[in-house]
């Protein structure tokens, strides 16, 4: 991608870090399926599917590990 969507893994606090982990998870999908239209269509299905939502939460958890380590867990 030519435009900059990820400046840094550093965030001000843990919640912003979690939200960055959400973004990383979505970008992992977007790189593979760049069409907003197709992703929108898929979204309306998987967001009502419990197993898809749990799988999404798992990807977020993995990315949150990365962001948390980058930020030294926002300790102190």
- Residues near a second copy (CB under 8 A) are 1, 4-10, 13-15, 18-19, 22, 24-29, 31-33, 38, 42-43, 45-66, 68-70, 73-75
We find the least distance from the C-beta atom of residue 11 to a second copy, in angstroms, to be 11
Which CB, 36 or 45, lies closer to a second copy? 45
Which CB, 36 or 53, lies closer to a second copy? 53
We find the least distance from the C-beta atom of residue 36 to a second copy, in angstroms, to be 14
**Helix, strand counts (H, E) of the chain:** 3, 0
We find the least distance from the C-beta atom of residue 12 to a second copy, in angstroms, to be 12
Is residue 20 a contact partner of residue 74, using CB atoms and an 8 Å limit?
Answer: no
Cβ burial of 29 (10 Å; 0-12, 13-18, 19+) is: middle
State the helix-helix crossing angle for 50-70 and 14-32, rounded to 10 degrees: 120
């Amino acid at each position: 991608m030519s435009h900059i969507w990820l400046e840094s893994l550093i965030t001000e606090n843990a919640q912003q870090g979690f939200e960055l982990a959400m973004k990383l998870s979505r970008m992992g999908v977007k790189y593979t399926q760049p069409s907003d239209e197709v992703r929108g269509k898929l979204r309306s299905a998987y967001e009502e599917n419990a197993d898809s939502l749990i799988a999404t939460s798992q990807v977020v958890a993995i990315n949150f590990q990365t962001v948390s380590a980058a930020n030294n867990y926002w300790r102190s």
